[in-house]
Amino acid sequence: MAKVILKRQRKKRLEQGHPWIFQSEVDRIEGDITPGDFVDIYNHQGYWLAKGYINPASQIIVRVLTQNPDDELDERFFIERIRQAWAYRERMIPGVRSCRAIYGEADFLPGLIVDKYEDVLAVQILALGMEKRKDWILRGLLDVFAPRAIYLRNDVYVRELEGLEQEKGFWYGEAETEIEIEENGVKYMVDIEGGQKTGFFFDQRQNRAALRPLIGPETTVLDCFTHTGSFTLNACLYGAKHVTAVDISEHAIETAKRNAALNGFSNVDFVVANAFDYLRESVRAGKQWDVVIIDPPAFAKSAHAVPKALRGYKDINLNGLKLVKDGGFFVTSSCSYHVRPHMFEEMVADAAFDAKKVLRQVYWNGAGYDHPKLLAADEGDYLKFAIYEVHSRR
């Protein structure tokens, strides 16, 4: 294999366990390479560090597969990594049938995402090095999961940055593209063909379950940015008296209605509206709920977008806090990686100050067990989720 020699003056991120090597860290490449090839990685003194695959066209020039010199990068290696990823989920979420089964870098398979929906897999291959091993990956998925079908959701722009075309469709077998799954005792219809990402946001599994102690038989709930109704349905499952679910997307609300009907929940008002406007109008109208949930999409796609994103987050959090009954609970979240946890907490504190509220934090979490995080890779630390008890400041 060709050798990638790293610069002397660089942060020792690789040695700490980070799975990416950027162009700016590479001093030189020794030997002939074809994009997607496996390479050995050495420090400036010639000390072997890792093996990975290379793509000179990408800013992430090498993605690391192993730091064990004895590992042979062959089909058996990939199948074993897939098997280990699934064994971890079975251990952490006993009896799980639907979850994120492979989470790229965090499962030491950089550039590969696999979501399991009962006996159907939805797969994203995001890097050239993985694309070149599609046959190995397919055999591993068939060997470990024995799925009825596998659907490719390679319809993402990041593939173009790797020199790959976008595509989607069945890779193996055939199945319906709407699949019924169950999570935390709630049933959902998941659209693996047209849904966002690969069809469902599994990362909030444990956070959805965290609603349980907040809900009683007289509890009223406002769920903004409900999407397909996941927090709403969990609130209903735990016995909420009534839920108001708001989203700007008519398609999302229709899906949420179907999910509510699937579970037999009829105590929900579904509202198609801009959540920013709905929150402001509800404040003006003097409305209040026992529990208010704010779970928006990512507002900051880049570091440059953070100041504007924080203004948007503060707007919805400020008005959301004003809508919580005294002694009630405020549930808030952000999936913007560039809004770091301390920024998010400071934003919530500022919103509470302006809303004349005193907050008591009762729960703080990130993504669930099926979205593990490499300690050395901050890029995996994207989700912030908090529950606060709300008291009015006189």
Q: State pTM to two decimals.
A: 0.94
Q: Is position 335 annotated as part of the catalytic site? A: yes
What six digits make up the tokens of 62? 């090498």
Selecting among 99, 224, 236, 335, the annotated active-site residue is 335
How buried is residue 263: exposed, middle or buried, by Cβ count under 10 Å (0-12/13-18/19+)? middle
Q: Which stretches of the chain are DSSP H helices? A: 13-16, 75-92, 128-131, 134-145, 158-161, 205-209, 230-237, 250-263, 275-284, 306-322, 341-354
pLDDT (tens digit per residue) in 25-50: 999 999 999 999 999 999 999 999 99
Q: Are residues 61 and 69 in contact, defined by beta-carbon separation less than 8 angstroms?
A: no
pLDDT (tens digit per residue) in 152-179: 999 999 899 898 999 999 999 999 999 9
Give the β-pairing of 289-294 and 324-334: parallel
CA 339 and chain centroid, separation? 15
Q: Are residues 376 and 343 in contact, defined by beta-carbon separation less than 8 angstroms?
A: no
pLDDT (tens digit per residue) in 215-239: 999 999 999 999 999 999 999 999 9
Q: What pLDDT score does 120 carry?
A: 97
Residue 152: count other Cβ atoms within 10 Å of its Cβ.
19
Give the β-pairing of 112-117 and 98-103: antiparallel
- Residue 301 confidence (pLDDT) above 90: no
Which of 69, 60, 68, 109 minimizes the C-alpha distance to 88?
A: 109
